[in-house]
Amino acid sequence: MEELYRYVSGLIKDVKLLGLGTGRTVKGLIDYLHREGLLGGKEITVSSIDTELYLKSLGYRVGDLDFRPQVYVDGFDLFLEEKGSLIKGGGGAMTREKIVAFNSDYRVYIGDQSKVRGDRIITLPVEVLGFSLWQFLSFMKSKGFEARVRQGQGKMGPVVSDNGNPIVDVEVERDRVEELVKLLDSVPGVVEHGYFGEELIDEVAVFKEGLVKVVKPGK
């Protein structure tokens, strides 16, 4: 993955206002940028408490979203290359990730080839207000979608987002994902979902066999 991190370092080298996402890939990027001394002198905002704590442990200050990042870098769970879209939310941070992405000038998503798959069934994470949780599950079932509350590992109870809301994983056939997204956008109580369309993506950089492949959806 170092070639991928090196590619990103070229994109952000002269950037003063930087946004960073969530997850293991982003942590690997942070480690690389820290080691190369490329984070100093930048104002940084992040999309999760986990990333904030990690950066602070390395001695960096992290600000709120009170500036517009010139570049936002994040990982992804699945790249639907034929649709030019991404599935995110494995870490339950998709709401804040979308907020930072929407408010950034240039959005870059990074991952390895294992995240570019032809899965017929896709799991789409959805953040739901606790007040509407059981009604939401019932509604999804009535529409023919299997939905389950994500359970924590190593702790009792459901996984909750940094916003304090439960995460529901909804299974959907690949060719019905846009149908599900349109439905979710109309349901009161749905805070956000993990479908990132091309309007939130400027490029996707994928590491495969020592090379970095860059895709710019819709361009």
**What amino acid positions are annotated as catalytic residues?**
97
Pairing of strands 167-173, 107-112: unpaired
As given in the structure block, the two tokens for residue 135 are 């009604």
Cα–Cα distance, 65 to 61 (Å, whole number): 13
Pairing of strands 43-46, 17-20: parallel
Residue type, 16: K
CB 92, CB 22: distance < 8 Å: no
Residue type, 69: P
Using a 10 angstrom Cβ sphere, with 0-12 exposed, 13-18 middle and 19 or more buried, the burial of residue 185 is: exposed
Cα–Cα distance, 87 to 85 (Å, whole number): 7
**φ, ψ for residue 208 (rounded to 5)?**
-145, 120
Q: Is 133 left (phi over 0), alpha (psi -120 to 50) or beta?
A: alpha
CB 86, CB 78: distance < 8 Å: yes
Cα–Cα distance, 39 to 14 (Å, whole number): 10
